[in-house]
Amino acid sequence: MGKIKLEDLLNDNRSGSLDLTEKMLELFQNVLNEGITQKADSEELYKHLQNISKNLIKKQPNMALLRRVSATYLLYFKRLINSDKTPDEVFSLSAAKIDLLKDEIKSNVNKIAQFGCRIIANGNKIMTISQSRHIVNILLAAHKSKRRFEVFCLKSHPPDEGIEMAEFLASKGIKVTVIADNNMGVFMPQMNLVLIGADRIYETGIINKAGTLPLCLTAKHFNIPVYLAAETEKVLLESERSIKKSSYAPEEVYNGKAKGVSAQNIYFERIPLDLIHKVICEDSVFESYEFKNWYLGG
């Protein structure tokens, strides 16, 4: 696998926020290594990293983890530059910080997987949407614990990233069925639970892949509990930063030439927290109202 490029990340419309954040840190590491090799000026290197961060946030404005991790790293880098550290020390400590951030992310992923796998029982049928590393790791942990269950992955069109998750789970020995997004109501009565991820958590809800709202409403109609898996770093209150509406290529929806026909393609939507039964985070599994009181200021 070649080196990660900024253009690759900007064009990635399939990866979840966790994967994109890790890829961003990998890109930061590559830039830092090149800077060390070329004996680059630390201020210029900081500006380069800052530009990468700005471009990614502009492309994915509601990915809270991406925003928080990049801000944490850039602040740390800037403080090193303004300290009495030598250039070599700045580069060395900056590289170590990337490793630390990666370790923190990995730790949270493992904790969420361990908490989350406990909600899955033998014989369960589980519906999910889009592509979430947390959901994948929860399911893999449950499978490793010898529980047998079936996952129903919504295709998640566009761009159909649910198929990628289904194929990966199947390669690990998990029974998976891919269903069309408009079939969620057909299969929901068979489900025991719904598992979803989130790009952002705010005062009264979450931001996730479009289709999550009808999924949660359908689950509520059939009295099927919805579980959200997300780290607390994804909390980004609307009072801190407004929620942006992002449009993607309309050709993914309609590529015809008929006169008078237009298309819109919105990837993300708001989902009220009231539709979520429990939240699985790195600290524990909370009732949604408990999570709101602890992390969202009530």
- Overall pTM surpassing 0.75 (yes/no): yes
pLDDT tier at 2 (50, 70, 90 boundaries)?
Answer: low
Angle at 93 between CA 282 and CA 58, to 5 degrees: 60
- More confident of the two residues 26 and 3: 26
Is the Cβ–Cβ distance between 267 and 210 less than 8 Å?
A: yes
pLDDT tier at 134 (50, 70, 90 boundaries)?
Answer: very high
The domain locations on the chain are 6-110, 119-295
Helix (H, G, I), strand (E, B) or coil at 53: helix
pLDDT on residue 63: 96
pLDDT tier at 4 (50, 70, 90 boundaries)?
Answer: confident
CA-CA distance, 188 to 198, in Å (whole number)? 21
Residue 215 clears pLDDT 50, i.e. is over it = yes
pLDDT tier at 199 (50, 70, 90 boundaries)?
Answer: very high
Q: How many CB atoms lie within 10 A of CB 247?
A: 9
- Mean pLDDT value of segment 155-163: 96
Alpha carbon 209 to its chain's center: 10
H or E segment at 117?
Answer: helix 87-117
Query: In whole numbers, what is the pLDDT of the chain averaged over residues?
Result: 96
- Mean pLDDT value of segment 128-138: 97
pLDDT on residue 198: 97
CATH fit for domain 119-295, picks 3.40.50.150, 3.40.50.1370, 3.40.50.1000, 3.40.50.10470 = 3.40.50.10470
Nearest to 210 by CA among 53, 62, 78: 62
Residue 1 clears pLDDT 70, i.e. is over it = no
Is the Cβ–Cβ distance between 26 and 102 less than 8 Å?
A: no
Residue 229 clears pLDDT 60, i.e. is over it = yes
Residue 240 clears pLDDT 70, i.e. is over it = yes
Residue 6 clears pLDDT 60, i.e. is over it = yes
pLDDT digits (tens, 9 = 90+) for 20-74: 999 999 999 999 999 888 888 999 999 999 999 999 999 999 999 999 999 999 9
pLDDT digits (tens, 9 = 90+) for 65-88: 999 999 999 999 999 999 999 988
